[in-house]
A = this chain, B = another copy of it.
Amino acid sequence: MDFTAELQRQAARVERGLDQYLPPADTRPERLHTAMRYSLQAGGKRLRPVLVLAAADLGPGAPAKRADPLPAAVAFECLHTYSLIHDDLPCMDNDDLRRGRPTAHRQFDEATALLAGDALLTHAFALLAEHYAGQPALAHALLRELAEAAGSRRLIGGQMADLLAERQDAATAADLEFIHLQKTAALLEAALVCGGLVGGADAATVATLRRAGRALGLAFQIIDDVLDATADSATLGKTAGKDARAGKATFVKLHGLDASRRFAAQASATARAALRELPGDPGFLVALCDAMAARSH
């Protein structure tokens, strides 16, 4: 398998899906739909939707049990993008730059960014409800997984805990693990699980995907912390060193650079081992995990 070619193929599939499954920009109210598309089509790694597609492609579900994973993949990018838009708002991180372009509230205004985020969150659920309507049990399982991953105990809970840790400047290692597992790992885990569900995976495979996603998410976030401390803004496409200056709880701040790199390598190894247990050919997912571990942005 040519990893780079396969990654490009899956990412291109995601880009087409984003265009296909978002309301057109000329849908009333146009400003809202333009803003949704602006943030969603700003590029990025498309990691979450690629995980959905790759997990679905694994099989081993019987063709009759499988469904098109693309709407689910797009739902995950909608959800991820909503969290970025709201995170960037002045009352949160107050960021001007995202993926090398003005953030939504800088390009439009705060109210439009707020509503575009709300709309992308809601659209993630609408996409799953609409496109898997022919298989209500599958639709329900996907919706439940997404709602839990995005909820107050997981994604949003992690963002709140992150904010509180920053304010109090007193995060412990346990706080930090909670933040990272909820803020980042929740969605990566759910992406792999939902991909598996769409692909007709059995319960054991879904459990393995969940375990892999959790470790992958932890690795991903620790590497994010390392890059924030070591890379420059141009490479990152966002303001570097910002987390450290803001007094955010990061692995690097708590454990130092060397230990953080070691933690990231351990979590990546855990993810890789879980992925190798998967049926079918998990080669692409393993290579994706390795690429994540070695990434520079």
A residues adjacent to B (C-beta < 8 A): 23, 27-29, 31-33, 36, 86, 89, 91-92, 109-112, 114-115, 117-119, 121-123, 125-126, 128-130, 133, 136-137, 139-141, 143-144, 146-148, 150-153, 156-157, 159-161, 163-164, 178
A161, closest chain B residue (CB): B29
Q: Which residues of B have CB within 8 Å of A31? A: 160, 164
The interface residues of chain A, by DSSP majority, are classed as helix
Oligomer copy total: 2
A165, closest chain B residue (CB): B29
A145, closest chain B residue (CB): B129
CB distance from A149 to the nearest CB of B (A): 9
Q: In the complex the two chains form, is A122's CB within 8 Å of B28's CB?
A: no
A83, closest chain B residue (CB): B118
CB distance from A41 to the nearest CB of B (A): 15
Q: In the complex the two chains form, is A91's CB within 8 Å of B114's CB?
A: yes
A105, closest chain B residue (CB): B91
From known contacts A92-B114, A121-B118, A159-B115, infer whether A32 and B144 are also in contact, taking CB-CB under 8 Å.
no
Contact among B29, B121, B143, B160 with A157 in the assembled complex (CB-CB below 8 Å):
B29
A139, closest chain B residue (CB): B140
Q: In the complex the two chains form, is A121's CB within 8 Å of B121's CB?
A: yes
Q: In the complex the two chains form, is A156's CB within 8 Å of B28's CB?
A: no
Contact among B89, B111, B143 with A92 in the assembled complex (CB-CB below 8 Å):
B111
Q: In the complex the two chains form, is B115's CB within 8 Å of A160's CB?
A: yes
Contact among B140, B148, B159 with A143 in the assembled complex (CB-CB below 8 Å):
B140
Q: In the complex the two chains form, is A140's CB within 8 Å of B147's CB?
A: no
